[in-house]
Every structure is written in structure tokens, then in C-alpha cells.
């Protein structure tokens, strides 16, 4: 692999207050650094080279000015329900087999498509519960469903983060 192929590596970008803001590629991070818009917080073990110079690629950069952003909310979707529930049936705890989305209060009984009414369920449990409410089916949930906080959702969504990112994502020590 060419040393310049490393320019596609992911870099965590922090807001001025060290809050995770986004993930960009190393090429974009280098541009931010050269323009003086960011500073290196953590370096990676990877390099990129120009004709005259070799650069250590950053793993984490922090912006020099604060970026205001609106309060972000996680969009309700089938895939995001699976992510929130970590692809685990909320009735029996299995992650094996086909998983579906179940309405705690079925639509036929007035249930809506909301974060609080939808859970990940295996087909066995979904069929067992059938078109009944949780109380009618006498089934219990492992965890009460709720709307995920955006930042928590980002933590769930990042698979195998760079060890240098973990303190900034509140995932433990590097």
C-alpha cells in the first residue's frame, strides 16, 4: 500500500470545547491544519508524503473556533431502532436469526411509530406476542425503549474506533 493511501484514513474532529463534531478523512484534516483552522490533539502511527516532506497524520484534531450546531436528533427508522437496541431481541436477548421491529402497542390497538413504542424483536418473540399489547401477551422487555440521545447514538455507531478517540467519545482510556 502506498504511503499516500493513508490520506483516506479517518480522523476525529473535535469542536473548540473538545466535543466530538465529526469524522473526516486525513486529507481534509491536513488542510484544516495547514490553514490554521485546527490543531493536532493526537497523532496516528501513519504517514503521508509530498515530494519534499513526510507528514505524520493526525488521529484527532481540534478546531480553533467554536462551531455552533443545532440540537441534533436521531431520525426514527428501522435501521436506527436496530442500532439503538444493538441488534438484540428486547424480549429474549438473542441476536441470532432474523430480527424484526415490533410495536409494543400494535397499530391495530392505536399504537404509533415512535421511539417509545418500537423495539427490536426476533421472529419467534414477535410471533409469540402477535397482535397484542405487552400486558396482554404477558411478555417483558429487557430494557424500556426510549429516544436515543444523539451523542450516545454516535458512540453506538462507531465500530472499532481508534484507541486515541476513546477518551473523547467517553469510551474509556486509550
Residue 143 in domain: no
pLDDT at 9 over 60: yes
> Does residue 60 sit in helix, strand or coil?
strand
Q: What are phi and psi of 126, to 5 degrees?
A: -65, -40
Put simply, whether the predicted model's pTM sits higher than 0.85 gets the answer no
Summarize the confidence of residues 94-101 as an average pLDDT. Answer: 95
Give the pLDDT confidence score for residue 12 in this predicted structure.
94
**Shared domain check, 83 and 27:** no
pLDDT of residue 73: 85
Number of separate domains in the chain:
2
21 lies in which domain range? 3-70+151-169
Residue 120 in domain: yes
Q: pLDDT for 111-122, tens place per residue? A: 999 999 999 999
The whole-angstrom distance between residue 31's C-alpha and the CA centroid of its chain comes to: 25
Among residues of the chain, what percentage have pLDDT more than 70?
Answer: 94
The number of residues making up the chain comes to 174
Amino acid at each position: 500500500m502506498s504511503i499516500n493511501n493513508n490520506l483516506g484514513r479517518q480522523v476525529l474532529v473535535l469542536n473548540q470545547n473538545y466535543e466530538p463534531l465529526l469524522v473526516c478523512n486525513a486529507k481534509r484534516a491536513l488542510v484544516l491544519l495547514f490553514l490554521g483552522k485546527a490543531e493536532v490533539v493526537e497523532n496516528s502511527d501513519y504517514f503521508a508524503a509530498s515530494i519534499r516532506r513526510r507528514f505524520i497524520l493526525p488521529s484527532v484534531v481540534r478546531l480553533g473556533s467554536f462551531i455552533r450546531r443545532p440540537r441534533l436528533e436521531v431520525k426514527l427508522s428501522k435501521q436506527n431502532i436496530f442500532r439503538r437496541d444493538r441488534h438484540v431481541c428486547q424480549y429474549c436477548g438473542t441476536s441470532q436469526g432474523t430480527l424484526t421491529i415490533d410495536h409494543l402497542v400494535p397499530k391495530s390497538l392505536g399504537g404509533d411509530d415512535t421511539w417509545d413504542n418500537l423495539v427490536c424483536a426476533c421472529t419467534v418473540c414477535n410471533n409469540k406476542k402477535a397482535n397484542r399489547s405487552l400486558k396482554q401477551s404477558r411478555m417483558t422487555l429487557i430494557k424500556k425503549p426510549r429516544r436515543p440521545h444523539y451523542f450516545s447514538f454516535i458512540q453506538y455507531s462507531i465500530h472499532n474506533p481508534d484507541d486515541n478517540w476513546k477518551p473523547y467519545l467517553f469510551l474509556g482510556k486509550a
